[in-house]
Amino acid sequence: MVSHQFEGAQILSQLQCSGMVSVLDLMQGGFPSRALFHELYNMYQKYMPPKLTRLDPRLFCKALFKALGLNENDYKFGLTRVFFRPGKFAEFDQIMKSDPDHLAELVKKVNTWLIHSRWKKVQWCALSVIKLKNKILYRTNACINMQKTVRMWLCKKKHKPRIDGLVKVRNLKKRMARFNEVVAGLKEGKQEMSKKIQELEDAIDTLMVKIKNTVMSRIDIDHEYRALVSRSEQLLTDMQNKKKEEEERERLKRIQEEMERERKRREEEEQRRKQEEEERRL
């Protein structure tokens, strides 16, 4: 090893072993330079016209970088400061301290970018308001549909037993025509049976009015309906039995009439026979 003489291979090997190359690669890929927004603002506001110096420090820095045409990969914005890749901050500082003509062009670009930025914000705000309006309308319609569905379910739960009860009671009333047919075939007790049928029809009409005008539970409706059904079945059974009794009486009456005719026929034959015998004796 000789003084003031360097061997490149050995030095590179020492730098690699000490991690210097990795540090440099990290610095090259990272953002080693950083500056606070208000520091940049205070540093360069003297080069800007009053119109731009009134901007917020963060917006001021953003407008400058956009106007300078810096690559977005060369810097990143944080919460309170901006980060630069190696060498980019010096390049930025050199551009800012250039001649006045270039600075005037820069101010013009900044104004253009601000107008574009504000117009984009206006567009975004308009679209956001439209989306918000559509969302409010959608949620309003959804609330209406939900309320409609819930109200429909509540009404169905409340009135479905009454509707079913009315349908059953009306079907029972339609069966009353059969009762009238049976009564029409009776020869005795028509008035009594017609009165019972009318009472049953009045009870059915009363139950229908009660179901329509009052809120009745399914249990109450079924209880009264079964009572009417039992009453109608009992009435029908009574009428059928009465009709059978009449038919039986009619049958017995016909038998009795036939027996009476037979008796008269025999008496007449006996009288004829006696008369013939008397005529022979004479």
Q: Could you report the per-residue pLDDT of 24-71, keeping only the tens digit for each?
A: 665 555 666 677 777 777 776 666 667 666 777 777 777 777 777 677
For range 183-204, the mean pLDDT: 77
Listed in sequence order, the DSSP H helices in 175-189 are 176-184
CB of 212 within 8 A of CB of 167?
A: no
The whole-number pLDDT of residue 49 equals 67
Q: What is the pLDDT of residues 132-179, one digit of tens each?
A: 999 999 999 999 999 999 999 998 888 888 888 888 888 888 887 777
* 52: exposed, middle or buried (Cβ count in 10 Å: 0-12, 13-18, 19+): buried
Long-range (24+ apart) CB contacts under 8 A made by 222-231 are 222/165, 225/165, 225/168, 225/169, 225/172, 228/169, 228/172, 228/200, 228/203, 228/204, 229/172, 231/200, 231/203
In the predicted structure, residue 230 carries a pLDDT above the cut 90: no
Q: Note the pLDDT of residue 145.
A: 94
Would you state the pLDDT for residue 136? 95
Is the pLDDT confidence value at 79 over 70? yes
> To the nearest whole percent, how much of the chain has pLDDT over 70?
76
* Cα gap 202→196, rounded to integer Å: 10
pLDDT in tens, 215-229: 888 888 888 888 888
Are 212 and 250 spatial neighbours (Cβ–Cβ below 8 Å)?
no
Judged against a pLDDT cut of 90, whether residue 191 lies above it is answered with: no
Dihedral class, residue 86 (left if φ above 0, else alpha if ψ from -120 to 50, else beta):
beta
Most confident of 62-76, 102-116, 186-200, 219-233: 219-233
Please tell me the least confidently modeled range out of 62-76, 139-153, 194-208, 264-278: 62-76
**Of 5-14, 137-146, 269-278, where does the model show the most confidence?**
137-146
Average pLDDT, the chain: 78
Q: What is the pLDDT of residue 116?
A: 83
User: From start to end of 127-174, where are the E strands?
Assistant: none
pTM: 0.42
Is the Cβ–Cβ distance between 208 and 265 less than 8 Å? no
String of DSSP letters for 98-137: S-HHHHHHHHHHHHHHHHHHHHHHHHHHHHHHHHHHHHHH
What digits encode the pLDDT tens for the residues 120-144?
889 999 999 999 999 999 999 999 9
